[in-house]
Amino acid sequence: MSRYCLPALMLLVFNAGCVSVPEGAGFESLRKNVSERTVTSLDWPGVTIAETEAEDRIQTLLRAPLTEAAAIEIAILNSPAIQAVYFELEAAAGEYTDRAALPNPFVSAMVLNVEDAPVTNLSYGLGIDLLDILFASRRISAAGLRFEAEQAEAAAALVDYISDVRVAYYNAVAATQISNLMASASEAAHASADVAQALFDAGNIAQINLDREKLLAAEIEFDAMRARTELNAARLHLNAMTGLVGSDASNWVLAGRLQNPPRQLVLEPVKVDENLYLIANDARIDEAGALIGLVSASSLIGEPELEVELERDHGEWENGVGVAFELPVFNWGEGRRRAARAQLAAMIQQRLANHAQLESEAQSLTSEFDTARQIALLYRAEVLPLAGRVLQGAQLDYNAMQIGTMALLDAKREQLAAGRNYVRALQHYWVLKARYDQLAAGGAARSGVETRSDQSGRSVEREGH
Amino acid sequence: MTSRRDALKLAGLGMGALAVGSGQAAAATNPGTLYSSSVAHGPDRSYRPGRAGTDYTPVETPNGSTLPYKIKNGVKIFHLVAEQVDHEFADGLNGRCWGYNGRVHGPTIEAVEGDRVRVYVTNRLPAATSVHWHGVILNSGMDGVSGLNQQAIEPGETFVYEWTFQQFGTFMYHSHHDEMTQMAMGLLGMIVVHPRRPSEPKPDRDFALMLSTWKMRPGERRPDPNEMTDFNILTINGKAYPATTPLVARTGQRVRIRIGNLSAMHHHSIHLHGYAFEETMTDGGLVPLSARRPETTTLVPVGATRTVEFIANNPGDWAMHCHMTHHVMNQMAHGGANMLGVDPAAFQGRVASLLPAYMAMGQTGMGEMGEHIESGHMPVPENSLPMVGSQGPHGYISMGGMFTLLKVRDGITDFANPGWYDDPVGVARPATVEELNRDEVGILNAQTE
């Protein structure tokens, strides 16, 4: 019988097979996926591009006024957060390889001394977890699904990150423009205070009127200071997103201003079913479904083992095959089966909730995005010209001596306020556009989506083992 | 209707007036009937319609006109049409006003004491209206206060008024329905009634001037009737200087100027340069000779007329204007900072860096403003007339609003604007060093040098 046992065991092992993911293969898949979805080319310094070459490229980009595309490219080459995603994916590939491999058999050897006997007895044993062998293909399939989910989640993380960089860039540009406009408003208020001082010196206004102008100038100066602080915070955030530190973080200048939105809205449709987080959800649900049979089996026949033994007893060799398993006398495993089923159902429900959330988000963003576009266009077409005409009218009124210099400067500040509102309208538009594009590319634009279902997935796996 | 007793009284008054007239002034002497008549009036008295040139020297309304009439059965028939009028206050400033017969203000109604007149009033306004004959003695039913004396004239309706002038003098007509709105929009005009038998010399030149005030901020196109205090367009016969047409007379002529004031809230002290004059009439009647005194300024209250007379014996170009200084400004605003004496060096550059078109002004007053604006380098709102005066023979005349000119020339027969006066006697000029030294004006001498 022993002559059949070893081949049978080998056949089982062969049947189980094994999986190996080459190093970097996960990244290539990620690069392709992200490129297709965001038209952004990924590189991995030290892996797909030499680190010196990446550094040269970053320095080249930093020497020119920083564009949105340049900020994203720098982030891809330089952001530790992005590098971490690459490494996490590599780790996931390693775990996949590990999970897909068969568990090693265990070997036992024993020497038994028989008292006063010339020979010793020997005992060799070889055992393997039978359940791992029997369900090997299912387990490998589950590991593949896990890796598929992790790849999708990595791609989603990058889509989200690229969008966050884009938003950080827009915020920095807007903060720059608003800070400049606030500086002009402050200058106008100080000029008004100068006028008041000259009027006071001439004896034409009272101290209280002068003090009011000075108070106004101080308050507007504070607003300008806050705007500068917000600009600094926006630059620092963009530095953090792009991974820039030291002199690299302080020397860059932004290119241009926020552009006006297009007159015609051409939207890439959001295909919610192709959302990366839903793809990850699906893979994890499939993984849990694949592992649920394992849970059922293990709950009925706990930890079955196939053992082969070779024993020399008093010079005679003997062999034998045996099995061992947990006898379900007191615990029939119903609890584990029930838990696994419920967790799978929860994952399915969470996936449905995510789908609904993404659908809602797509519709909401479409509406908000278009409204923001129209507002920005109206600001450009109507409000700014109106504000300009109001200032021009105030200048004419001043020339006609209908108003004084301070009232004219008030009108200037009103025009600058309209300019700030326009910048905010543009900022709103571009941020929403970035979020919409993020969603269309398969990311999750807002925090309402439960993006990962690691907990439930791992729970099933733990139970399975 | 006038009773026989009233007629006798009127007749008596007429006689009295004649008697008084022959003795200097034709003022009624009966208390309560102080208006002026030169002949007797009553139902048993009628006079043929007065004739221009024969019975009176026609009044001239500078920038205005006289309402034409026709005679039917001895009655002078007038027709006023109240309507919206696009009125030019001066070059560059128009307003959507309300007026009569296409004019702001309405044409002067001219008649002779004793004339029977019938006035048709057609309402082409979007609102109801009525016409009050201000100062005219007539029966209550013709007095024109809507609701009180008559129904309002609704849009599209034509009403008829009729009476006999039993007085002479200078009167006015204006809307008496929603007065605040309708008078602010321009519904007013002058009435001149000549004496049937003048007791005083006829004037050679007889002018009628209506004073009024308006509010239109620069750039606006319709007067604001809601304004109560800050009027910024001050007009004579609906025109603000420099659009006012000068009063022209020949040296030696007797000049009569009738001034009515239907401004909303302001009296006007009208000052004439180069002359002293007598205030001969109010809208109540002749001022007794004993009460007349020489003046150079006459105060014309709101809702009153004043008539002044003088012999034009001092040739030249003479300013005539309201002496309330804000009334000789065009579209002056009163809310701006007082820049007089302010040193702009501390802020000019800073403000101009924000507002390139900015130029500090007003530090020495507003005298040059009009020139700046006329030169075009300081554009002002469309449809506005801020601070504008006009170029005169010796520089810029920094006057506006209620300002006009009396031009007296030797030997002229054409009373069109004769142009600027070239004074043969001499014009003020910079003093020479020799003169300053001669008269030992040391400090000025030093400055000149």
**Shared domain check, B142 and B198:** yes
More confident residue, A269 or A50: A50
Range with lowest mean pLDDT among A20-34, B243-257, B303-317, B372-386: A20-34
pLDDT tens digits for A54-84? Answer: 999 999 999 999 999 999 999 999 999 999 9
Q: CB burial class (10 A; 0-12, 13-18, 19+) of residue B45?
A: middle
Could you give the ipTM of this predicted complex?
A: 0.86
- Residue B84 located in a structural domain: yes
Mean pLDDT, residues A418-424: 97
pLDDT beyond 50 at A465: no
Q: Do residues A192 and A406 touch, judged by C-beta distance below 8 A?
A: yes
Is A395 within 8 Å of B357 when comparing Cβ atoms? Answer: yes
Please tell me whether residues B203 and B107 are part of one structural domain. yes
CB of B356 less than 8 A from some CB of A? no
Percent of chain A with pLDDT over 90: 66
Predicted local confidence at residue A446, as pLDDT: 65
Interface test with A, best of B216, B334, B350 (most A CBs within 10 A): B350
Residue A191: list chain B partners with CB under 8 A.
Answer: 347, 350-351, 354
Please report which confidence band the pLDDT of residue B334 belongs to, taking 50, 70 and 90 as the band edges: confident
Examine the domain organization and report whether B230 and B353 are in the same domain.
no
Give the CA dihedral A78, A84, A85, A90, nearest 10 degrees.
Answer: 120
Inter-chain touch B219–A190, beta carbons under 8 Å: no
Q: Which helix (H) or strand (E) holds B119?
A: strand B116-123
Greatest CA separation found in chain B?
A: 84
pLDDT at A462 over 50: no
A204 contacts B342? CB cut-off 8 A? yes
Q: Where are the beta strands (DSSP E) in A49-192?
A: 106-113, 120-129
- pLDDT at res. A189: 97
Q: Which residues of A touch B (CB under 8 A)?
A: 184, 187-188, 190-191, 194-195, 197-199, 201-205, 391, 393, 395-409, 412
pLDDT for A194 equals 97
**Are B134 and B281 found together in one domain?**
yes
**Number of residues assigned to chain A:** 465
Phi, psi for B145 (deg, rounded to 5): -85, 115
Tell me: do B246 and B359 sit in the same domain: no
Which of A435-449, B317-331, B434-448 shows the lowest mean pLDDT across its residues?
Answer: B434-448
Chain A: closest CA distance from residue B379 (Å): 6
Is pLDDT above 50 for B337?
yes
Is the pLDDT reported for residue A353 higher than 80? yes
Crossing angle of helices A334-378 and A405-440, in 10° steps, is: 140
Q: Please report which confidence band the pLDDT of residue B42 belongs to, taking 50, 70 and 90 as the band edges.
A: confident
The residue with greater pLDDT, A353 or B377, is A353
B228 is a domain residue = yes
- List the single residue in B335, B350, B362 with the smallest CB-CB distance to A191: B350
- Res B377 pLDDT > 90: no
**What pLDDT is recorded for position B192?**
98
Cβ <8 Å between A401 and B361: yes
Distance CA B90, CA B383 (A): 10
In single-letter form, the type of residue at position A306 comes to: L
How many Å apart are CA B88 and CA A408, to the nearest integer?
A: 29
Q: Check residue B254 and give its pLDDT.
A: 98
Tally of domains within chain B = 2
pLDDT of residue A9: 59
> B102 and B237 share a domain?
yes
The pairing of strands B205-214 and B254-261 is: parallel
- Is residue B265 included in any domain, yes or no? yes
Mean of pLDDT over chain B: 91
Residue A265 has pLDDT above 90, yes or no: no
Question: Nearest Cβ partner of B381 from A184, A393, A408?
Answer: A393
Question: Is A199 in Cβ contact with B338 (below 8 Å)?
Answer: yes
How confident is residue A35, by pLDDT bands cut at 50, 70 and 90?
A: very high
- Say what the pLDDT of residue A147 is: 94
Highest mean pLDDT among A2-11, A356-365, B17-26: A356-365
Same domain, B311 and B242: yes
Clarify whether residues B346 and B270 are in a common domain: no
What pLDDT score was predicted for residue B248?
98
Taking 90 as the threshold, does the pLDDT of residue A411 lie above it? Answer: yes
* Integer-rounded Cα radius of gyration of chain B: 25
- Residue B93 in domain: yes
Q: Is there a single domain that holds both residue B374 and residue B231?
A: no
The stretch A90-106 carries a mean pLDDT of 88
Q: What are the residues whose beta carbons fall under 8 Å from the beta carbon of A316, sequence distance 6 or more?
A: none
Closest CA to B175 of B215, B216, B225, B231: B225
Domain spanning A2-464 has what CATH number? 1.20.1600.10
CATH number of the domain where residue B251 is located: 2.60.40.420
CA A23/CA B159 separation, integer angstroms = 106
Structure tokens at A153: 């989640």
Q: Which amino acid belongs to residue B418?
A: P
Question: B123 versus B33: which is more confidently predicted?
Answer: B123
Domain contains B149: yes
Q: Would the pLDDT of A100 be above 60? A: yes
Residue of B nearest to A393 (CA): B381
Q: How far is A393 from chain B (nearest CA, A)?
A: 7
For B367, the domain range is: 330-390
pLDDT grade, residue B6 (50/70/90)?
very low
Domain-located, residue B34: no
The residue among B298, B325, B352 that closes a domain is B325
Q: Is residue B295 assigned to a domain?
A: yes
Integer distance in angstroms from the first to the last C-alpha of chain A? 31
- Identify whether residues B320 and B340 lie together within a single domain: no
User: ∠ CA(B210), CA(B213), CA(B216), 5° rounding?
Assistant: 135
Residues 6+ apart with CB under 8 A from A403: A394, A397, B333, B335, B336
Radius of gyration, CA atoms only, chain A: 35
**Cα B402 to Cα B405: distance, rounded to the nearest angstrom:** 10
Which position has the token pair 């590990």? A98
Q: How confident is the model at residue A20 (pLDDT cuts 50, 70, 90)?
A: low
B366, A401: Cβ pair inside 8 Å? Answer: yes
Contacts of B181 (CB under 8 A, 6+ apart): B127, B225
C-alpha–C-alpha distance, residues B408 and B250, integer Å = 5
What string of DSSP letters covers B390-432? EEETTEEE---BSEEEEEEETT----S-------SS----PPP
Confidence of residue A460 (pLDDT cuts 50, 70, 90): very low
- Check: CB of residue A338 under 8 Å from CB of residue A460: no
Asked which of B390, B407, B422 is the last residue of a domain, the reply is B390
Omega cis (within 30) before B344: no
Residues B212-241: tens digit of each pLDDT: 999 999 999 999 999 999 999 999 999 999
Q: What percent of chain B has pLDDT over 70?
A: 91
Domain finish residue from B359, B390, B421:
B390
Residue B448 in tokens: 């000149």
Q: Which residue has the tokens 């004959």?
A: B133
Contact yes or no for A439/A445 (Cβ under 8 A): yes
pLDDT, position A12: 59
pLDDT at residue number A356: 95
More confident residue, A259 or A297: A259
Instruction: Parse chain A into domains and list their residue ranges.
Output: 2-464
pLDDT tens-digit map of B379-412: 999 999 988 889 999 999 999 999 999 999 999 9
Note which residues in 215-234 of chain B have CB less than 8 A from chain A. 217-219
Given pLDDT bands bounded at 50, 70 and 90, which one contains residue A239?
Answer: very high
Torsion-angle region of residue B238: left (phi > 0), alpha (psi -120 to 50) or beta? left
- Cβ B347–A405 below 8 Å, yes or no? yes
In degrees rounded to 5, what are phi and psi of residue A311?
Answer: -135, 135
How far is A419 from A261, CA to CA, in rounded Å? Answer: 16
pLDDT beyond 60 at B7: no
pLDDT score at B31: 52
Nearest chain A Cα distance for residue B351, angstroms = 6
Split at pLDDT 50, 70, 90, the class of B5 is: very low
Summary mean pLDDT of chain A: 88
Do B176 and B72 sit in the same domain of this protein?
yes
Confidence band for B2, pLDDT divided at 50, 70 and 90: very low
- Tell me whether residue B282 is in a domain: yes
Q: Name the residue type at position A460.
A: V
CB B277, CB B294: distance < 8 Å: yes
Asked if B341 lies within 8 A of A202 by C-beta distance, the reply is yes
Residue B294 has pLDDT above 90, yes or no: yes
The predicted structure's pLDDT at residue A157: 95
DSSP state of B53: T
Tokens 């010796």, located at residue: B394
Would you say the C-alpha torsion A170, A171, A177, A180 has a positive or negative sign?
negative
Average pLDDT over residues A380-384: 96
Query: pLDDT value at position B236?
Result: 98
Report, as an integer, the average pLDDT of B244-254: 98
